[in-house]
Amino acid sequence: MIDENDFFVAVKLISGEHLLAILVDEDEDTVQLKYPVVVKITHQMIDDNAVEQMTASPLCPFSADPNYFLDRYHVMYVKEMHQLMVSKYIALVKPAEREASVYENEDGDLEENPMSLEELRDKLNRLSAMVGLPPLEELDKEDLDKFFIEGNKTLN
């Protein structure tokens, strides 16, 4: 979980990439970062004015683990993030931070806990409202028949 008391840093790699992240730990050989974001700066000309545009994306958008261990050899510097950037950084990575509630199923595999009945009912009621149907509690079979389309026996 991201906490306001975390140590937020700006990191520059020898490849020239700039990272924003939470510094978890560091030693002689490695730097441990959490939720690193790559910041890319592009230059554009708009109405004869040079303008910098910054975009940010996760260091590895395919990883489920937010922790990264960088070889110190690849790091040019680690600096404390400017206070004005901390809230922007948190807003950027907050959607990626989600704790999943998991359980072990009968096969021994981990699965995310299913929605509660109330959550499911709420989602279905919102979907019903979108297509012009009454809430689930007031739904008749006749209402459902309006949306059922008889198919044929074609296999695809």
Residues 91 and 132 in one domain: no
Same domain, 71 and 134: no
pTM of the model: 0.60
Residues 3-39: b if buried by 16+ CB within 10 A, e if exposed: eeebebbbbeeeeeebbbbbbbebeeebbebbbbbbb
The one-digit pLDDT tens for each residue of the chain (156 residues) are 787 789 999 999 999 999 999 999 999 999 999 999 999 988 888 888 888 888 888 998 888 888 999 999 999 999 999 999 998 898 888 876 655 555 667 777 766 666 677 877 888 888 878 777 778 777 666 655 555 556 666 654
Question: Is 76 a member of any domain?
Answer: yes
The pLDDT of residue 30 is 96
128 shares a domain with 53: no
In a domain, 92, yes or no: yes
Tell whether 66 and 133 lie within a shared domain: no
Question: Which residues 6+ apart lie within 8 Å of 121 measured at CB?
Answer: 136
Whether 18 is covered by a domain: the verdict is yes
Parent domain of 134: 114-145
Instruction: Give, in degrees to the nearest 5, the angle at Cα 41 between 35 and 42.
Output: 145
pLDDT score of 110: 65
- Residue 129's pLDDT is what? 80
41: in domain: yes
Both 124 and 63 in one domain: the answer is: no
Question: Can you give the pLDDT at residue 121?
Answer: 81
Same domain, 132 and 70: no
Count of domains for the chain: 2
